[in-house]
Amino acid sequence: MLAVAAALAIILSSGLPADAASYEYKEYTVKKGDTLWSITKRELVDAYQWPLVWMENRRINDPDLIFPGQVILIPIRMQKPDEPEGSWPRPETASRDIEPSEPSYWTPPVYVEPEKPTYQSKTSRISKQRSRLIVKKEVIIEAGYITKYIPDAGEVQGAPSGRSNFAHRDIIYIWTDKPVEKGRKLYTVRKMAKVLHPVTDEDMGWAIKVTGVIQTLEAGDDEVKAEVIESYDLISVGDPLDFYSDFLPPVTLRTPRSPDIDGHVLTASYKRLISARHDVMFIDKGMKDGIEVGDMFITLMPKTSDTVNGMFQIINVRNNTSLAVIHASEREITKGDSFRSFFDDQTVPTIEQ
């Protein structure tokens, strides 16, 4: 009875019909070490749906703080039909074995001093190494991009369910500026913030976050029905659409380039101010400056011109900006930090395999 009452309260609070079988819930009891991310990954189709699970459990004030013994309601309509393929790992904050009455304060992860990297003499090209993926394709898509032109391919308008937030496998209605054929893929995106150059104050454009990938279920030139086939965040009514373009994930080259280009770090991904090892970030140079996917550069300590802080590799390129993944750093890389190529007299860290 308690489970039915809880499910009914959530249904009524969201304005959905209480007799809809598609909005039944399964009870899950939190175990030590569980997180909303790990629970969602185990119970549902897509681990990125953890915000939806959080929204269905209004008693959880802090999604990073759940307790062993808590009962969480899992929406059956999104329950996993079979074992999914592996997905890109996410850092998790484990549930804590403390009383729920204690205050729910978020604390940042403990910083662990990295092992001192090994150094070897380099020229403008890095030593030969085994070909492998630099990052998974999903990391590049989710990181988004910076553009001066807001995507205008269409807009998310609603859904048959009447809800305003959507995730993987949901059916939605979209409007497109041009007629689309059945099976057409589009990105759902969200305008995040204006990006100003941290040194020159130049307007670099808008940071755009990709929230998902949809595929049309019918053809049309007005309101078209589509399915969410990938979700990286909540997709909402009013989110713009951008044209989809498929691409292969970047792989390491046997002799990566390090062209004689210098510039600055624009911003970290996900609206963070700093980046650390294996994070992604944006720089102020792009295709028009001669940057290519796979290029490698070093970052310098602030207010220095020759003290190496870390190194990064380009994983996606646009006209004026590029996305990069950090391979090594002595300390956090902050927006405004300068970068340049490897010089003949410069020693650099070795990338871990």
Q: Has domain 2-78 been given CATH number 3.10.350.10?
A: yes
Tens-digit pLDDT profile for the chain (353 aa)?
A: 334 334 334 333 444 344 444 457 788 888 888 888 888 888 876 777 777 788 777 777 777 778 888 888 887 766 655 444 444 344 344 444 444 444 444 445 554 555 544 444 344 444 444 557 788 888 888 888 999 888 889 999 999 989 999 998 999 999 998 899 999 999 999 988 899 999 999 999 999 999 999 999 999 888 899 999 999 889 999 999 999 988 777 887 777 888 999 999 998 764 455 555 568 899 999 999 999 999 999 999 887 777 888 889 999 999 999 999 988 888 888 889 999 997 644 444 444 43
Query: What span, in angstroms and rounded, lies between the C-alpha atoms of 238 and 220?
Result: 19
Which residues lie across from 216 on neighbouring strands?
226
Q: Which helix (H) or strand (E) holds 224?
A: strand 223-231
pLDDT score of 23: 52
One-character DSSP codes across 141-208: HHH-EEESS---SEEEEE-TT--SEE-TT-EEEEEESS-B-TT-EEEEEEEEEEEE-TTT--EEEEEE
pLDDT score of 323: 94
CA dist list (Å): 164 to 11, 211, 214: 14, 14, 16
Q: Six-digit token pair at 163?
A: 């809800």
pLDDT score of 4: 36
pLDDT score of 86: 42
Q: Which CATH architecture has domain 119-135+249-349?
A: Beta Barrel (2.40)
CA atoms 224, 228, 229, 231: torsion sign: positive
**Topology match between the domains 2-78 and 119-135+249-349:** no
Q: What is the pairing mode between strands 25-29 and 71-75?
A: antiparallel
Question: Is residue 347 within 8 Å of 311, Cβ to Cβ?
Answer: no
User: In the chain, where are the structural domains located?
Assistant: 2-78, 119-135+249-349, 143-243
Q: Six-digit token pair at 71?
A: 């009962």
